[in-house]
Structure 1
Amino acid sequence: MRRLKVMQVIGQMEVGGIEKLAAVIAERCSGDRFCISVCALGGDGPLRQELEKGGVASFCLGKRPGLDWRIVLRLSRLLRSEKVSVLHTHHVGALIYGVPAAVLSGVKRVIHTEHSHDALDDNPRLRVLLRLLARRASTVVCVADEVASYLEGVVGVPRGKLQVLRNGVDTELFRPGLMDEPLWSGLVVGTVGRLDPLKDHLTLLRAFRLLVERVPNIKLVVVGDGPLRGELEAASRGLGIGDRVAFLGRRSDIARLLRGMHVFVLSSVKEGLPLALLEAMASGVPVVATNVGGVPQVVQDRHTGILCPPGEPVELAQSIHQLILDEELRRRVAANARSLVEHSYSLKAMLSGYESLYAAAANGTGGAH
């Protein structure tokens, strides 16, 4: 049987949530039915090495900062040379280049996934552009109900075009257990994510400074890299907690590191449905997360975790401290969170959803349902 050729387009070859999802789709969807590649608008990066290890074809288009219309021609040529049948864009930036490239190359089937709406909130022109370009997509996938509501109510994408397909994680890889070698002799508070302004690690550092005053033997482990790393390392020293904060950078052993954490914290000011949060919940780590985007869909306060408002270090510190003090609460929310992810956010369900969308699009029957 001839395999259906699908090309995913992402912004860059970094190892963030969107990029990680694209890699999982490419590597784990049925290899008998689909041949899925990944193309970055920007330049080379660490994700490309991971894709090559997994046997996934990858491409980089070398996009310059700002609008770079050369990318449309480069992408259209690539789509033709690779004989792509279905184009799958991630985030509105990829859609802007993907739709005209699909038109030029004759690719008739486009699927678009919108992971959050932070880029759209303060940009009405971008919202108009998304609404217009979405007409060319057979389906616009939203990773959370909250994202779908925003695209319908604020952007104006017709409801019939939208389909909610929740992010999923591998619950066999991300599972409860003990780390082979502890990260720290005492309590470990941890976070995983790209070090950029939307993740608001500065609020987490300020909250942790308050925690250090109450909990003597505690460490903060920050996993991930990004443009703010130097600034955040300097901030930790300025707050007097430099010796209590470990910046581990980009890591490939996330599942192992999560098993070494006692509390996981998501301090973001904007989110869709973050994979790192789902991975922590699947790993049986009790979570404290900010009440933003699609997060309340999975973190039900005091049932599957603790919710707190964004940008509030005092309340964030209090929420983390509450979990540290209450062992029964930690156990209960961790068990409930693991159960929720197993039943509603499995990798198998997510991959099956994308496989169905690809097949339907190729057959000309694509559309939300």
Structure 2
Amino acid sequence: MRLLFVVRDLGLGGVERCVVLVGSWLAAHGFEVSVAMMGGSRNLWGTRSAALNIVDLSGTWHPKKPWTWPAGWGALRGLARRHDVVIAATFLMPLYITWAATRGLGKRVLGWVHGPLFEVDERARMNPIHRRACQFIYRRLGELVFVSAHARDSMSKWLATEPGQGVPPGWRVIPNFVEAQPLRPAGLPHRPARLLFVGRVAEEKQPALWLDALVALANAGHAATLTVVGDGPLLPWLEDEAARRGLVDRLIVAGRQDDVGPWLANADWLLLTSLFEGCPLVVLEAMQAGLPVVSTRAGGVYELFAGRDVDFVTAEPTGAALAALIVAQAPHHAELAAWLRQRSEAYSPDALGARWLQLLEHPQ
């Protein structure tokens, strides 16, 4: 079977990582997998994408240059003709061009939904034209793949699905998976405790909560440090605010790292403080490493904990609540780490790859 993913490019974002991981797994199981890059020529995944056929169409079509649209449409349409299944890997541009280029071809077209779009739109206030265009297409695609039940339910709310109508038969949930992570060394938390954030330092991650948590822990007699692995537009603000609060010696900025395994292995807790999430990859990595997680109720994150979300998710999005949960977890640190490691088996590449095989080989 020939499978085509349509992306903006292959940068280091979560969507791009999922495309490479899922595509490579399917390629290893007999699929011919291509990735069409429409918005840029970056491929930052190197040998990890070696099994994929990467097709750079960004020099043919540019979304802000209307005179290139016919050529881009024709190039992707020609590529789609040679594949059995075409997947719009995310919303906005990849969704638009996939929809337009496959009209009338009789191809099987899927939309891959990575986040809770109702919350994303509510927070970011999507351009009304983009909102209507995305909603128009998603309502007409027969098959959508969601990374969490929360993302699916959010889509239903965003599209204003009639109450009681139920989930459309072509909507399926397949969570994300990540590469295997080495097990974190056993032992009690360090003193001071080592907190870790991995991701983009941006407004939707609520970085002020990280500093609030450090202060709340210190006030409760539990000193801690925070290591930030990543970069983003609010990194200068974070460093300035840490200095203003007298927390410079408690904040370690490691920058963007290709391999987060050593950072997970050296930490005591992972912080997740997002306003919204679909199926956060970094939590899956922490689970595989046996690293306890403390999270706000960030969309679909609670689904990862199989009914034990009270052990890992705060009731309120505050630094004090994060600190209180860390203090509560501390006596049970080893048990929680072992449980997360065991739970991560449900999110292994083979377990979830089998669900992709079922989806692709047995359409509803």
TM-score by shorter chain over 0.5:
yes
> In structure 2, what is the equivalent of residue 13 of structure 1?
10
Please, what TM-score do these two structures have when normalized by structure 1? 0.81
In the alignment, what sits opposite 1:277? 283
Checking the alignment, whether the CA contact within 8 Å between 1:41 and 1:71 is kept in structure 2 is no
Describe the SS at the equivalent of 1:252: coil
Structure 1 position 141 matched with structure 2 position 145: yes
Q: How big is the shift at 1:141?
A: 0.7
Structure 1 residue 349 displacement after superposition: 2.1
1:136-175 paired onto structure 2 within 5 Å = 136-156=140-160, 159-170=168-179, 173-175=180-182
* CA-to-aligned-CA distance 1:103-132 (integer Å, 9 cap, x gap): 28x372211111112333345765543343
Q: CA deviation at 1:62?
A: 6.9
Q: Which residue of 1 aligns with 2:121?
A: 120
Q: Percent sequence identity over matched residues?
A: 24
The TM-score normalised by the length of structure 2 is: 0.82
* Counterpart position of 1:355: 357
The residue aligned with 1:176 is 183
Identify the residue that residue 322 of structure 1 maps to in structure 2.
Answer: 328
Counterparts of 2:297 and 2:201, CA distance in 1:
19
> In structure 1, what residue type is equivalent to 2:156?
E
Report the Cα distance in structure 2 between the residues aligned to 1:65 and 1:233, rounded to whole angstroms. 37
1:91 shift after superposition: 2.5
Distance 1:78 1:265 in 2: 41
- The answer as to 2:195 corresponding to 1:195 is no
Higher relative contact order (CA closer than 8 Å, sequence separation 6+):
1
The Cα offsets for residues 74-108 of structure 1, whole Å up to 9 and x where unpaired, read as 2540451473332211232221232112228x372
Does residue 240 (structure 1) correspond to residue 241 (structure 2)? The answer is: no
Distance 1:292 1:52, change over 3 A: closer
Q: In structure 2, how many angstroms separate the alpha carbons of the residues matched to 1:269 and 1:223?
A: 19
Structure 2 Cα separation of the partners of residues 62 and 250 of structure 1: 28
C-alpha distance after superposition, 1:346-367 (max 9, x if no partner)? 221222222333334xxxxx33
Aligned-partner Cα distance in 2 for 1:241–1:40? 42
- Shift of the alpha carbon at 1:322? 3.0
Closer/same/farther in 2, CA of residues 228 and 37 from structure 1, 3 Å limit: farther
Asked whether the equivalents of residues 18 and 115 of structure 1 are also in contact (C-alpha less than 8 Å), the reply is: yes
Within-5 A mapping of 1:66-77: 70=68, 73-74=71-72, 76-77=74-75
Unaligned runs of 5+ in 2: 162-166
- 1:1-369 matches, within 5 Å, as 4-31=1-28, 33-45=30-42, 47-49=44-46, 51-52=48-49, 57=54, 59=56, 61=58, 70=68, 73-74=71-72, 76-81=74-79, 83-93=82-92, 94-103=94-103, 106=105, 108-116=107-115, 117=117, 118-121=119-122, 122-123=125-126, 126=130, 128-156=132-160, 159-170=168-179, 173-178=180-185, 186-214=192-220, 218-299=224-305, 305-309=311-315, 311-323=317-329, 326-328=330-332, 330-343=333-346, 345-360=347-362, 366-367=363-364
Look up the match of 1:363.
Answer: none
CA distance in 2, matches of 1:138, 1:149: 16
- Give the aligned residue type for 1:288: V
Check conservation: 2:297, 2:317, Cα contact below 8 A.
no
Distance 2:175 2:284 in 1: 11
SS, match of residue 92 in structure 1: coil
**Residues 113-169 of structure 1, C-alpha deviations (whole Å, 9 max, x = no match):** 111123333457655433431255341011111121222244146622211112223
- The verdict on how the C-alpha distance between 1:198 and 1:206 changes in structure 2, with shifts beyond 3 A counting, is same
Cα distance in 2 for partners of 1:168, 1:141 equals 14
> Residue 6 of structure 1 aligns to a residue in which SS?
strand
Contact 2:61 2:72 in 1 (8 A): no
8 Å Cα contact 2:88/2:110 also seen in 1: yes
Which whole-Å deviations, capped at 9, do the CAs of 1:38-61 have from their partners, x for residues lacking one?
Answer: 334433446354655566525362
Report the CA distance between 1:25 and its aligned residue.
1.1
Q: Name the counterpart of 2:164.
A: none
Instruction: Mark the CA change 1:62 to 1:266 in structure 2 (over 3 Å): closer, same or farther.
Output: farther
Q: Is the 8 A contact 2:8 2:40 kept in 1?
A: no
* Structure 2 counterpart SS, 1:250: coil
Instruction: Specify whether residues 331 and 33 from structure 1 end up closer, same or farther in structure 2 by C-alpha distance, changes over 3 A only.
Output: same
In the TM superposition, residue 337 of structure 1 has moved relative to its aligned partner by: 2.0
| Structure 1 residue 277: Cα displacement | 0.9
CA RMSD for the aligned pairs? 3.3
What one-letter code is carried by the residue in structure 2 that aligns with 1:103?
A: R
Which segments of 5 or more consecutive residues in structure 1 lack a partner in the other structure? Answer: 361-365
| Matched residue count | 349
The answer on whether the counterparts of 1:72 and 1:98 sit within 8 Å (CA) in structure 2 is no
Change (3 A) 1:237 1:12: farther
Asked if 1 retains the 8 angstrom alpha-carbon contact of 2:27 and 2:51, the reply is no
